[in-house]
Structure 1
Amino acid sequence: MEGAISTSPGASRIAVVTGGNKGIGLEVCRQLAGNGITVVLTARDETRGAAALEELRALGLSDVVFHLLDITDASSIARLAGFLKARFGRLDILINNAAFGGVEYARGPAAAAGSVTSEEELSGMDRDQRLEWLWRNTRETYDAAKKGLLTNYYGTKHVIEALLPLLRASSDGRIVNVSSDFGLLRFFRNEELKQELHNVEKLTEGRLDELLDAFLEDFEAGEADARGWPAAFAAYKVGKAAMNAYSRILAAEQPTLRVNCVHPGYIKTDITLRSGLLTPEEGAGNVVKVALLPGGGVTGAFFEDGQEASFV
Structure 2
Amino acid sequence: MEGSFSSSEQRVAVVTGGNKGIGLEICRQLASNGITVVLTARDEKRGTAAVDSLRELGLSDVMFHQLDISEPSSAARLADFVKDKFGKLDILINNAAILGVTVDVGDPHPAAVQEVISSEKFTSMSAMERLEWVDKRSTETYAEAEECLRTNYGGTKNVTEALLPLLLSSSDARVVNLSSFIALLRVFSGELKQELNDIDKLSVERVDELSELFLEDFKNDQLDQRGWPIEKGPSAYRVSKALVNAYTRVLAKKHTSLRINCVNPGHVNTDGNYHTGDLTVAEGARGPVTVALAPREGPTGAYFDGTEEASFV
User: Quick one: structure 1 residues 135 and 58, their matched pair in 2 at CA, closer, same or farther if it must change by over 3 Å?
Assistant: same
- Cα distance in 1 for partners of 2:112, 2:281 equals 18
- Cα distance in 2 for partners of 1:69, 1:278 equals 27
* 1:85 Cα deviation from its structure 2 partner: 0.4
Of 19, 23, 38, the match for 1:21: 19
Q: Which residue number in structure 2 is paired with residue 4 of structure 1?
A: none
1:1-312 equivalent positions in 2, closer than 5 A: 11-106=9-104, 112=113, 118-121=119-122, 123-127=124-128, 129-188=129-188, 190-231=189-230, 232-312=233-313
For the residue of structure 1 that corresponds to 2:299, the secondary structure is coil
- Cα distance in 1 for partners of 2:227, 2:16 equals 32
Does the CA contact (< 8 Å) of 2:122 and 2:130 recur in 1? Answer: no
For the residue of structure 2 that corresponds to 1:81, the secondary structure is helix
Code of the residue aligned with 1:53 in structure 2: it is: V
- Cα distance in 2 for partners of 1:63, 1:229 equals 43
Residues 32-58 of structure 1: per-residue CA shift (max 9 Å, x gap): 000000000000011000100110011
- Cα distance in 1 for partners of 2:100, 2:43 equals 20
For the residue of structure 1 that corresponds to 2:291, the secondary structure is helix
How many residues matched?
Answer: 302
Code of the residue aligned with 1:57 in structure 2: it is: R
Does the CA contact (< 8 Å) of 1:53 and 1:64 recur in 2? Answer: yes
Does the CA contact (< 8 Å) of 1:259 and 1:299 recur in 2? Answer: yes
For the residue of structure 2 that corresponds to 1:225, the secondary structure is helix
- Cα distance in 1 for partners of 2:149, 2:299 equals 27
- Cα distance in 1 for partners of 2:22, 2:191 equals 34
- Cα distance in 2 for partners of 1:135, 1:91 equals 39
Code of the residue aligned with 1:72 in structure 2: it is: S
User: Quick one: structure 1 residues 215 and 152, their matched pair in 2 at CA, closer, same or farther if it must change by over 3 Å?
Assistant: same
* 1:210 Cα deviation from its structure 2 partner: 1.8
Code of the residue aligned with 1:52 in structure 2: it is: A
- Cα distance in 1 for partners of 2:25, 2:192 equals 35
CA RMSD of aligned residues (A): 1.9
Code of the residue aligned with 1:160 in structure 2: it is: T
Q: Which residue number in structure 2 is paired with residue 3 of structure 1?
A: none
* 1:248 Cα deviation from its structure 2 partner: 0.5
Does the CA contact (< 8 Å) of 2:192 and 2:226 recur in 1? Answer: no
* 1:114 Cα deviation from its structure 2 partner: 7.8
Higher mean alpha-carbon deviation, 265-274 vs 32-41, is at: 265-274
Does the CA contact (< 8 Å) of 2:195 and 2:202 recur in 1? Answer: yes
Does the CA contact (< 8 Å) of 1:112 and 1:274 recur in 2? Answer: no
Residues 202-250 of structure 1: per-residue CA shift (max 9 Å, x gap): 0111211222211111111112134431122100000100110110011
User: Quick one: structure 1 residues 10 and 76, their matched pair in 2 at CA, closer, same or farther if it must change by over 3 Å?
Assistant: farther
User: Quick one: structure 1 residues 87 and 110, their matched pair in 2 at CA, closer, same or farther if it must change by over 3 Å?
Assistant: farther
* 1:110 Cα deviation from its structure 2 partner: 6.0
- Cα distance in 1 for partners of 2:118, 2:46 equals 26
Identity of aligned residues (%): 57
Structure 1 segments of 4 or more deviating over 6 A?
none
Does the CA contact (< 8 Å) of 1:114 and 1:274 recur in 2? Answer: no
* 1:191 Cα deviation from its structure 2 partner: 1.4
Q: Unaligned stretches of 5+ in structure 1?
A: 1-8
Q: Which residue number in structure 1 is paired with residue 4 of structure 2?
A: none
User: Quick one: structure 1 residues 105 and 170, their matched pair in 2 at CA, closer, same or farther if it must change by over 3 Å?
Assistant: same
Does the CA contact (< 8 Å) of 1:112 and 1:118 recur in 2? Answer: no
- Cα distance in 2 for partners of 1:259, 1:92 equals 12
Residues 169-214 of structure 1: per-residue CA shift (max 9 Å, x gap): 11100000011111101111x3111000000110111211222211
Residues 95-128 of structure 1: per-residue CA shift (max 9 Å, x gap): 000001121232588655585765423535353x
Higher mean alpha-carbon deviation, 134-143 vs 83-92, is at: 134-143
Q: TM-score, normalised by structure 1?
A: 0.92
